[in-house]
Chains A and B, each alone.
With several copies, the nearest count.
Chain A
Amino acid sequence: MIDVLYFAWLRERVGLPRERLETSAATVADLVEELKVREERYAFAFQDLSAIRVAVDQELVGFDAPLAGAREVAFFPPMTGG
């Protein structure tokens, strides 16, 4: 089981801020593929990965990051703080 979090317009497109999923995805990219085929709203949210950033257990990573042992994956647009 893994917690998946969505922020900003990704949260709006997916329609929820977080969910708990059963997944056997080996990497972040695999998880995204699982989500995209699940429902239209995920396909819409993840249609352009170049506009999406990922954190695994609150550390920024690439889409090729492994999920083994991860408790939390977060998807969000490029950050705009400051």
Chain B
Amino acid sequence: MGVRVQSEPFDAGAEANAFTAAATGAGAVVTFSGVVRDEGGRLQAMSIEHYPGMTERALATHRETAVERFGLTDALVIHRYGDLAPGDVIMMVATAAPHRKDAFGAAEFLMDYLKSRAPFWKKERGPDGESWVASKDDDEAALDRW
């Protein structure tokens, strides 16, 4: 089902259903959704900047790698940019495979790459103003296992 980069909200459940219905012969479908946390009221809004062109390329490459490496029947990546509010779904990945181990592995693989290798940058607005979200050493380290 490819990759999509968009500012518009999307219906993660409807996307998952369409993905599952199209994944004939899959057996196992895993989805991951990232949601804007409100951090106990400290986060009022989030905006996401990205690098048009490179974003789509990077996501398509990671998706293709995941499909080959885990023998997926299909994979989907959707990521929003622009202004988001607490509770909004930022992005989702979905993976379909004959067996659960590969569907799970591929979803984790895609998320690890997406976190540190897809050109998105989050800015948060709270009571004390705006700040860019710092990358986590954990996220970079997570790539080592693949």
B132 with A76: CB separation less than 8 A: no
CB-contacts of B41-71 with A (<8 A): 48-51, 53-54, 57-58
A79 within 8 Å of B by Cβ?
yes
A79 with B34: CB separation less than 8 A: no
Binary A-proximity of B90-130 (CB < 8 A = 1, otherwise 0):
11000000001000000000010011111111110000000
Contacts of A82 in B (CB 8 A): 34, 79, 90-91, 100, 111, 114-115, 118, 120
Contacts of B117 in A (CB 8 A): 60, 79
B51 with A7: CB separation less than 8 A: yes
Contacts of B118 in A (CB 8 A): 79, 81-82
Q: B51 CB to closest chain A CB, in angstroms?
A: 6
**A80 to B115 CA separation, bound complex (whole angstroms):** 6
Q: A75 CB to closest chain B CB, in angstroms?
A: 11
B54 with A8: CB separation less than 8 A: no
The verdict on A79 contacting B116 (CB below 8 Å), with A55-B54, A58-B51, A74-B51 known, is yes
Chain A interface residues toward B at CB < 8 A: 5, 7-9, 11, 55, 58, 60, 74, 76-82
28 A-B pairs within 8 Å (CB atoms) are namely: A7-B49, A55-B51, A55-B54, A58-B54, A76-B51, A76-B121, A77-B132, A77-B135, A78-B134, A78-B140, A79-B116, A79-B118, A79-B120, A79-B135, A80-B120, A80-B132, A80-B133, A81-B50, A81-B118, A81-B119, A81-B120, A81-B121, A81-B122, A82-B34, A82-B90, A82-B100, A82-B115, A82-B118
